[in-house]
Structure 1
C-alpha cells in the first residue's frame, strides 16, 4: 500500500505558465479545426492532468481598474489546452470523459469576472446598459471566493471547465461556418455581433512540432471561433460539469482530439456578462474511455453528461420570476420567449440588489459569478414563458430578505471601472 503522503504521479500532458501570454506557449490553440494535430496522446483508462491558462491568455491582471477588460483582444480567445488524442477513438464513437478534479494554480489563487464593452464583446445586457468595461477580482481561500470589489458576499465555488469538446470533422466545420455565416449576413449591423466568423487575425496554433505555413494559413482562414457551444461540446458554460462529472462526447475525427479551457472557479446559471464566471487559470484532471459506435447507440447529436455529485449546500434562496414581457424596457409582449423571461428575472434581481446598496455593475457581476440557479418554469402558457432565477441567501454576510419596513441600504462602494471613470 502506498503511503498516505505519496506524491501525485499522474502525467501532465499539457503544461503552461498562467502569467505568460498564450501565444508564446506550446500545447494551446484558439480555433477549432480538424487539421490541428494532437499535442499529446493518452490511453483509455489513463488518469492525466491538463494545465490551462485563463480564457484570454493572460490579458487580464489583478488590479483595480478595468482598462484591460476594455482593451481585451477577442480575436485571441478562447485559449484551449490540447488537442489530446485518445488511442482507439474513431469517428462514430462516444468519448467518455470523467472530470476528476478542477483546481486553480497554487501561484495564482485569484480570478476575475468582467463586463465587456458594448462594442467589444457585449454580454446579455450590453444594449440595455450600453455596457462599459467593469470587473471584479476574486480571491480564493480553499473552496471559497470573496472580492474586494463586491463586499459583503462569500461563497463556495463549483469549479468547472467552461469549454470542453472534441475536434470537428471537415464536414462538420463547413456546416458550422455556413450556418453561422448566414446568420451574420442576416444581421450584419448588429452590435454586439450575433456570431463571430473565422478570423485569421489572432489565430494561434501552438503545436508540438512546427506546422507548414500552408496548413497554418488554412486553419487560420477556416477555423471556427470558440465563442459558442456546438454539436461537439465547446463553450457551453455548464456550471455543474464539476469534479465527479462524466461527459459523453461524439467523436468526429480519429483520436477524438479533446481540448479544454476557460476554467471557472464559480458561475451562475446563464453567465450573464459574457466574461461572467469567475475566470481562472488552473489544472484539470481527466480519465477517458471509449464506447464504440456510441453516436448511433445513444442518438448523440450533442454531448450528454452526468452532473457532479458535489454542490454547495445553499438551500434557502430568494427566487425572482421573469416572463416574456419587456417590463424593464418598452413593455413589449413576446411570444413564449424564454430568453426574454430570463433577462427579466435577472433584471428583477439586479433592481432588488440595488435597493440593498450594490451598484448595477456590482449586481450584474455578482449574478454572473455566484452559484445562482435558473430554471424554466413553463413554456406552455401562451404568450408568457416563465423563467426563475434563485439567489442563495447564504452567500451574503447580511440579511437581504424583504421586511415590512423595507430594505436596509448599505454602501458597498463600486467594482473596478475604467481609469477614465466612464460607466
Structure 2
C-alpha cells in the first residue's frame, strides 16, 4: 500500500533510530524533534504484531505465511526486528522518540490532535497472549499465543477489516476500520523509561478508540518540552479491547501539537490530573486504575471536576447530570491498568456559557 504524503511542517520516521521498543521516553531522552506550538507533523508508526519473539521475530516470514509478499512488509518493521532488542521485562510496543514542544513547562497542557491516520499496509493482526485478555485462564485454550491475521477489503467503497469465521474457511466477518494511535503521551518526570503497557497520568497506552482523525488528547506536562510520543497503531478497536489487542497495524499519523499555558488550561479543563480527550461533540475525561471499579470512580471524579471548572456547575448537580446524560465507557481492560472514559456532550451546556 503506497504511503499517503500530506503537507506537514515536520516528519519523524520509524527507523530503529527513531523509536524505542517496549519502553516510554524518560526525561533523560533527548528529543528527536523540537517544534513550536501549532506545528503539524507526520509520524510513522510500526505495529509490534509480526515482529515479536513469540511470532518468530521475522516479519517477512510471519506475514509471508498469510500471503503477504516480501515487498508488502514494511522495511522499518524488518529493521526494528533485526537491530533492536527488548528484554522479557519490556513491553511489546514500538514507540516514537519524544517530540519537544517549544516553551512547554510543567503545569501546562499539550494538546495532541489527530488530523489523519493513514494505513501503511493493507493488513493487521489481533492477538491473545500472556493471560491478559478479559478471560485469563479461559482463552487462549492452549498456553501458546494466538495471532489472528486480518486483511483490508473494500465494502460499498469503505475500508473494512476481514476475518475468517472459521480458520481456513470461506465464510468471513467484516467490520469498518477506525484507525487511531493506542499510545499518545507525554514524558513522565522520571529518569527511568516506563514500561509501554500500563497507561498513566501522562497518557501512554490509553487505547481510547475514539482518538480517530479529528479527535484531541489533552495531556498535563511533567517535564520541560513535554516530550510527546505516539505508538501502538490500530486499524480498529472495540471499547474494552477484550482479547488483549485489537486490529494492530502500522499507520502514518498526521498530528498537530498545541501548547495550552497553565492559566488557560485551568479555565478550560480545571486542574488536569490525567488524559482528557475531546471530539467535535464530546469532552472525554478519563479514569485509570488496576481495578476497573476504581478506574470508573476516578473517571466520575474527573468528569465532575471538569464540569465545575469549565462551566461552574455545582458539584451535586454535576453528579446528577452525569448520571442522567453521560455514558461511561470501558476504554480497555487488558493493559495492567484499566481505563474508563466518559462522553460529556458539549451541546448540553450551550445555555450555560463558554
| Cα 1:135/1:64, change in 2 over 3 Å | farther
Contact 1:56 1:76 in 2 (8 A): no
Q: Is the 8 A contact 1:53 1:282 kept in 2?
A: yes
Shift of 1:64: 5.3
Matches of 2:218 and 2:292 in 1, distance apart? 29
1:13-412 paired onto structure 2 within 5 Å:
13-16=11-14, 25-29=16-20, 30-32=22-24, 33-55=26-48, 58-59=51-52, 60=55, 61-62=62-63, 75=90, 77-105=92-120, 108-118=121-131, 122-129=132-139, 131-132=141-142, 133-141=145-153, 143-148=159-164, 151-170=171-190, 222-274=192-244, 276-293=245-262, 296-297=266-267, 298-307=270-279, 375=329
CA 1:290–1:337 in 2, change beyond 3 Å: closer, same or farther?
Answer: closer
Q: Return closer, same or farther for 1:295/1:131 CA change in 2, 3 Å cut-off.
A: farther
Question: 1:57 & 1:64 partners in 2: Cα distance?
Answer: 11
Classify the secondary structure of the residue corresponding to 1:26. Answer: helix
Which 5+ residue runs of structure 2 have no aligned equivalent? Answer: 56-61, 67-86, 283-290, 295-326, 331-354
**Structure 1 38/93 Cα, relative in aligned 2: closer, same or farther at 3 Å?**
same
Contact 1:241 1:308 survives alignment (8 Å): no
Q: Quick check: which has more Rg, 1 or 2?
A: 1
Q: 2: CA distance between counterparts of 1:116 and 1:9?
A: 39
TM-score (norm 1): 0.52
- Aligned counterparts of 1:231 and 1:375: Cα–Cα separation in 2: 18
What number of residue pairs does the alignment pair up?
A: 245
Q: Which is strand-richer, 1 or 2?
A: 2
Task: Determine if contact 2:108/2:261 at 8 Å carries over to the other structure.
Answer: yes
Whether the 8 Å contact between 1:269 and 1:374 is mirrored in structure 2 is no
Deviation at 1:292, TM superposition (A): 0.7
- Cα distance between partner residues in 1 of 2:223 and 2:37: 16
Change (3 A) 1:149 1:27: farther
Q: CA deviation at 1:125?
A: 1.1
Report the alpha carbon displacement of residue 100 of structure 1 after superposing the two structures with TM.
Answer: 0.3
8 Å CA contact retained: 2:128, 2:140: no
Distance 2:250 2:140 in 1: 29
C-alpha displacement of 1:12: 4.7
**Gaps (5+ residues) in structure 1?**
1-6, 18-24, 66-71, 171-218, 311-335, 340-372, 377-423
CA distance in 2, matches of 1:148, 1:249: 39
Partner of 2:352: none
Q: Structure 1 337/223 Cα, relative in aligned 2: closer, same or farther at 3 Å?
A: closer
CA distance in 2, matches of 1:134, 1:86: 40
Write out per-residue CA displacement over residues 185-239 of structure 1, whole angstroms, 9 at most, x where no aligned residue. Answer: xxxxxxxxxxxxxxxxxxxxxxxxxxxxxxxxxx6xx322011110011111111
TM-score, normalised to structure 2, is 0.62
Q: Give yes or no for contact 2:235–2:248 (8 Å, CA) kept in 1.
A: yes
Contact 1:117 1:131 in 2 (8 A): no
Q: Verify the 8 A CA contact 1:266 1:278 in the aligned structure 2.
A: yes
